[in-house]
Amino acid sequence: MATEGERREEILETAASLFASSGIRTSLKEIGDACGILPGSLYHHFDSKDAIIIELVQRYRDELDQVAKDALDSLHEPGPPAVEERVTRLGEAIAQCAVRHRAALLLTLYDPPTTASDVLVELARQAPTAITAAMTDVLEAGHHGGEVRDGIDLPILSERICQSMLHVGVGVFHRRQASHLPTMKCQVFLHGIAKRPPADATLDRSAAMRGAQQVIADWATAGEHDRTEHLRAVGRAEFARRGYEATTMRDVAKAADLSTGTVYRTFRSKDELLVSIMQTFSDTFSASWDAVLATSSTPLEKLDALLWLNINLLDRFSEEFKIQLAWLRQSPPDSVDLGFSFDKQLKHLQSVLVEGQAEGKLRPADGSTLNQARSMYEVILTPENVIRHAGLRGSLDLARETVLRGALVRR
């Protein structure tokens, strides 16, 4: 017969598995049924679903802290390896932790549901600072050793790398068995993709950058006097702030200063409003990429413009990104992403990489160009907290210094 500690462990492991496969909507009854435990017995171990989630999040954070400690301890080992090996090893450990703790990761990327307890809200909002500090120490050791270039904001780069590793667990590509992603992304940040580092002035004048700037300017006026667009704008703000499950059409009507009947005459249901919001964003996303990639610029200039475009996309459409992640948090990892189709962008990226490598302008990567395109896609999407800390232009400067030129001294 299982001890109380063993049964508690079984409940936690089962809950983590169900959250990862069926989403956070999983009920206590479903967890109890999977464990073969009656609801009354389950409450003997955990008084609520929040209590289970809190422990899972704490375990995730504890493991990240241990990953950070191991990285710092390795700095004091005799005969230290090169900074590239240290960064990659730490990055891989962070990504593996994120995949193992997917449910806890998704709960901590953005504010938890409005129904969450105060304890869970506070825990979820605590940033995983230990891994960022450890990555900074690793990079600074490399800088002192002459391996990392001068002029790079190492704390911001550390946050950029750590966030990129954590996002491996979000559920876009890792479920496609993309175990290569952490290593390939670290290689991009450290070595860059350009064989010969480009000048900022040249990149700023490129046709691709002009195309990106025009697209960004067009977002400001699109549908600004249209009631449907107004409701989409209000809806995305309410869904991002309250969470989709907790938001009602009455909430949307009140925020839009319209009657509930008027809202229902435009959108027949909350689901229809959500799909319209995300489909409109998906169309904007796709059209914006198309505008940049259709220019006569070089592959490297196109990649640079895509970096700037996506920095601005996340800044301008942060609510849509929050809704997308909230949906992933609530849903099974194999569910359809709201309004998104990554295949088109991946094929475009793959073509750009193939062209640039054939011209001798871009570095070839280990493995297939499809895998390289997958890693580049995630590298192009700068995390929101990095943009918040570095600013729009600062985020582009960091991307150029790392993604294009590479953080390491070129030998």
CATH number 1.10.10.60 given to 1-47: yes
Say yes or no to pLDDT of 126 above 80.
no
- Among 31-40, 122-131, 151-160, 236-245, which range has the highest average pLDDT? 151-160
* pTM of the model as a whole: 0.84
Q: Report which of 302, 314, 294 is spatially closest to residue 385, judged by C-alpha positions.
A: 314
- Long-range contact pairs involving 242-248 (C-beta distance under 8 Å, separation at least 24): 242/114, 243/113, 243/114, 243/115, 243/326, 244/270, 244/274, 244/323, 244/326, 244/327, 244/330, 245/113, 245/115, 245/330, 246/113, 246/114, 246/115
User: pLDDT tens, 23-56?
Assistant: 667 788 888 888 888 777 788 888 888 888 888 8
Confidence of residue 225 (pLDDT cuts 50, 70, 90): low
- Give the whole-number percent of the chain exceeding pLDDT 90: 41
Instruction: Of 261-265, 285-289, 327-331, give the lowest mean pLDDT range.
Output: 327-331
Say yes or no to pLDDT of 220 above 90.
no
Q: What integer is the mean pLDDT of 51-75? A: 92
* Cα gap 80→64, rounded to integer Å: 22
pLDDT of 335 reads: 47
Q: Which CATH architecture has domain 200-362?
A: Orthogonal Bundle (1.10)
In the chain, where are the structural domains located? 1-47, 200-362
- Return the amino acid letter for 286: S
* End-to-end CA separation in angstroms for the chain: 62
pLDDT of 337 reads: 46
296 Cβ contact partners less than 8 Å away, ≥ 6 residues apart: 207
pLDDT of 342 reads: 65
Say yes or no to pLDDT of 363 above 80.
yes
* Cα gap 362→352, rounded to integer Å: 10
pLDDT of 339 reads: 43
Q: What integer is the mean pLDDT of 286-308? A: 95
pLDDT of 244 reads: 72
* Cα gap 45→376, rounded to integer Å: 44
User: pLDDT tens, 73-121?
Assistant: 988 877 767 899 999 999 999 999 998 888 788 777 655 555 667 777 7
Cα angle value 263/25/330 (rounded, 5°):
65
Q: What integer is the mean pLDDT of 171-187? A: 70
